């Protein structure tokens, strides 16, 4: 299951308006921002939209996070749901063994939320995967 996607955009406000309106009929809505000042240097300001399940906390829903595009930036950032911290660890090792590039080993990421455990890898083209277990998600 896809947990979240980062979309790099050139105009945050214009893009928030677009995604909020385009996804409203599907139960998605804008729900808040993540201020980069509260986390590590490599995490940008993020502007979130989520589906009804994500917003209610009743299950493992999906979210989109818009971020300001940097000059020359391309690629995708995709968060993949893992059922446990051990699954994050295993997928991270498998990704590195497959030739992935380490962008942050498995660890608690409490700057996002308590119980947020993740690892980050990139592929050969700079597309990024975040392997994430959120302790509050119900078992699938």
Spacing of C-alpha 17 from chain mean position: 20
Name the nearest CA neighbour of 2 among 59, 62, 52, 54: 62
Q: How many CB atoms lie within 10 A of CB 29?
A: 16
Q: Are 117 and 109 in contact (CB under 8 A)?
A: yes
Domains in the chain, start-ordered, CATH in brackets? 2-134 (3.10.180.10)
Give 100-116 pLDDT, tens digit per residue: 999 999 999 999 999 99
CA distance 70 to 92: 26
Name the nearest CA neighbour of 4 among 114, 107, 80: 80
Q: What is the pLDDT of residue 102?
A: 95
Overall average pLDDT of the 20-46 stretch: 86
Residue 6 has pLDDT above 80, yes or no: yes
Which residues is 34 bridged to in the sheet?
Answer: 46
Q: What is the pLDDT of residue 90?
A: 94
CA distance 77 to 87: 19
Residue 83 has pLDDT above 90, yes or no: no
Q: What is the pLDDT of residue 140?
A: 65
Q: How many CB atoms lie within 10 A of CB 23?
A: 16
Spacing of C-alpha 52 from chain mean position: 17
Q: pTM for this one?
A: 0.72
């Amino acid at each position: 299951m896809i947990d979240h996607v980062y979309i790099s955009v050139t105009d945050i406000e214009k893009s928030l308006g677009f995604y909020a309106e385009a996804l409203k009929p599907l139960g998605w809505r804008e729900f808040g921002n993540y201020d980069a000042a509260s986390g590590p240097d490599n995490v940008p300001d993020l502007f979130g939209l989520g589906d009804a399940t994500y917003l209610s906390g009743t299950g493992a829903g999906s979210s989109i996070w818009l971020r300001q595009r940097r000059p020359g930036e391309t690629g995708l950032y995709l968060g993949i749901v893992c059922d446990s911290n051990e699954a994050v660890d295993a997928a991270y090792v498998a990704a590195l063994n497959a030739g992935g590039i380490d962008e942050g080993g498995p660890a608690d990421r409490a700057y996002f939320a308590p119980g947020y455990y993740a690892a980050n890898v990139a592929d050969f083209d700079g597309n990024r995967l975040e392997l994430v277990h959120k302790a509050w998600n119900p078992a699938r």
